Amino acid sequence: MSTLNIVNKSPFEKRSLEQCLKRIGEGDSVLLIEDASVSALSKTAYAEQLISASKLSKFYVLKPDLQARGFSEESLLDSIESVDYDGFVNLVVTHDRVHSWL
């Protein structure tokens, strides 16, 4: 059973990402969108946490949100895959349910 968890808040402002990571496990995925897209970057203070969480769960970031904020795929953590809107839809249909951490 797999859940696609969607996080949209900056980790520097809200704790949704942390609260989500505490409660997911094997087979689950996390998609970082909007202000949460910066969590996918390799140079932030949250990088370690993401690297360790990505051993159990798969992480994705929505590319247009990243680009809108002036970042390219080169600045992403290795374990994170970037997706476009089609990829977003694909993730939704390939998981059993979606949990949005508003």
Partner 1 sequence: MEDEEYQGGEVKKFLYVNRRQPHGTVYALESLETVLIGAAFDQDVSMLFIDDGVYQLKKEQAPEGIEFKNFSKTYRALEMYDVEKLFVERESLEERGLAVDDLLVDVEVIPGSDVKALVDQHDVILSF
What Cα–Cα distance (Å) separates residue 90 from each residue in 16, 70, 74, 84, 86? 23, 25, 23, 10, 6
Per CB under 8 A, does 98 bind partner 1?
Answer: yes
Letters for 39-78 (x = contact with partner 1 by CB under 8 A, - = none) are ----------------------------------------
Q: 58-62 and 29-32: which strand pairing? A: parallel
73: helix, strand or coil: helix
**37 or 57: CB nearest partner 1:** 57
**Which one of the spans 23-31, 60-68, 73-81, 86-94 is the region binding partner 1 (CB under 8 A)?**
23-31
- Structure-token pair, residue 14: 């809200």
Residue ranges in contact with partner 1 by CB under 8 A: 1, 3, 15, 19, 22-25, 28, 96-102
